[in-house]
Structure 1
């Protein structure tokens, strides 16, 4: 995996990084919404910045990497491909943040389905994630695996960049906050309570500190340099 990153010239540059640049790049879906929102902001979208004021004042985007892959043990295809990874300064603190974009798409498979006939590699990966996040197995079959490995990615990258905190934030563009219940169940694993448009510290004493959040955004309009896939 290359460690050389090129500056974006617009949301179309995000498209080529997708696992399927045709199927996943659609009007009203998370990949396009996320790209348009962050490109339009030219920094941190206001709903993300508001959440991060819990960590420190005047949050500032230092670096953002779309479709950022974080290796996980247990499989040759063990990377967690995060919708967006960001390094952010909030006051005197730096934060490694993974962003999971959502509109109507679910958080992939529930853990029970993901573990059905699981290989040794899958079980090794889940054990690694649970140890990293301070969670005790067995977990509920209804917990979404995607939230587990996205949060693990934030902690891994926080340690790699030696930041003060790690955060996994769901950036939702759903007007009905679809799938919030799944996010809430995940937050409850840490003994915390989820609220829309709030950041909660679930591991205040850990190094790095770990935060989880849900940010509500509006579906952005098409930008000038966006090109829709052929129908």
Structure 2
């Protein structure tokens, strides 16, 4: 994992970190839309700030840094969890690790059934690792989206690495029709919480830190950037 980061001067600087910039850096797609939203804010976008403030543990949160396409290593296999944005923030008393998944029309990747069907030597180890991080003992439905598991785990992993008390996983969606929100709601049910749009809800102690999740609707003007 690299330790040196170079500040972005504009949203276009974010494109260099994508696996395939020509394919993913396009108007109306999540990578470009998310970059313009956060770069313009130079802090938390207002809708993110409001969603965080809805949670008593996260009120008054101040952004310290945000890293585009931040990779978090996971046990099992060689592929890390690549966060669209990972942010470190603080309240008056605590540090907070935030993993942000940007969405427009893109799905959350394979379901658990599809992911497990592909087969891999490291998948059993990775799934066991994710279960431990998320404190999941129950059977996982095959329709749960794998991306939501490892993205949430990455927030917890980085919380422990930086000594943060809280971890947050936010879906920052710019979809006018809220595409794929049912997948998020199913994931929230797995964590035994009832999700609410434009709010962050607490999901208990997971991996030794306080976990919170939220679905936040982004400003649709950035779909045209």
Which residue is equivalent to 2:117? 116
Q: Which runs of 5+ in 1 are unaligned?
A: 227-231
Deviation, 1:95, is 0.7
Higher share in helix: 2
Deviation, 1:123, is 1.4
Which residue is equivalent to 2:157? 156
Return closer, same or farther for 1:218/1:123 CA change in 2, 3 Å cut-off: same
Deviation, 1:67, is 0.2
Once residues 201 and 146 of structure 2 are traced to their aligned partners in structure 1, the CA distance between those partners, rounded to angstroms, is: 20
Which residue is equivalent to 2:76? 74
Which residue is equivalent to 2:59? 57
Once residues 13 and 79 of structure 1 are traced to their aligned partners in structure 2, the CA distance between those partners, rounded to angstroms, is: 22
Which residue is equivalent to 1:18? 18
Deviation, 1:52, is 1.4
What does 1:76-95 align with in structure 2 at a 5 Å threshold? 76=78, 78-95=79-96
Contact residue 156 and residue 207 of structure 2 kept, 8 A: no
> Structure 1-normalised TM-score?
0.92
Deviation, 1:205, is 7.8
Once residues 43 and 111 of structure 2 are traced to their aligned partners in structure 1, the CA distance between those partners, rounded to angstroms, is: 33
What does 1:203-222 align with in structure 2 at a 5 Å threshold? 203-204=204-205, 207-221=208-222
Once residues 221 and 183 of structure 1 are traced to their aligned partners in structure 2, the CA distance between those partners, rounded to angstroms, is: 22
Which residue is equivalent to 1:32? 32
Aligned length, in residue pairs: 223
Once residues 76 and 150 of structure 2 are traced to their aligned partners in structure 1, the CA distance between those partners, rounded to angstroms, is: 12
Contact residue 66 and residue 84 of structure 1 kept, 8 A: yes
Which residue is equivalent to 2:179? 178
Once residues 166 and 112 of structure 1 are traced to their aligned partners in structure 2, the CA distance between those partners, rounded to angstroms, is: 27
Once residues 16 and 179 of structure 1 are traced to their aligned partners in structure 2, the CA distance between those partners, rounded to angstroms, is: 27
Once residues 206 and 112 of structure 2 are traced to their aligned partners in structure 1, the CA distance between those partners, rounded to angstroms, is: 27
Contact residue 84 and residue 101 of structure 2 kept, 8 A: yes
Contact residue 56 and residue 93 of structure 1 kept, 8 A: no
Partner SS state of residue 23, structure 1: helix
Once residues 84 and 209 of structure 1 are traced to their aligned partners in structure 2, the CA distance between those partners, rounded to angstroms, is: 20
Which residue is equivalent to 1:229? none
Once residues 120 and 207 of structure 2 are traced to their aligned partners in structure 1, the CA distance between those partners, rounded to angstroms, is: 31
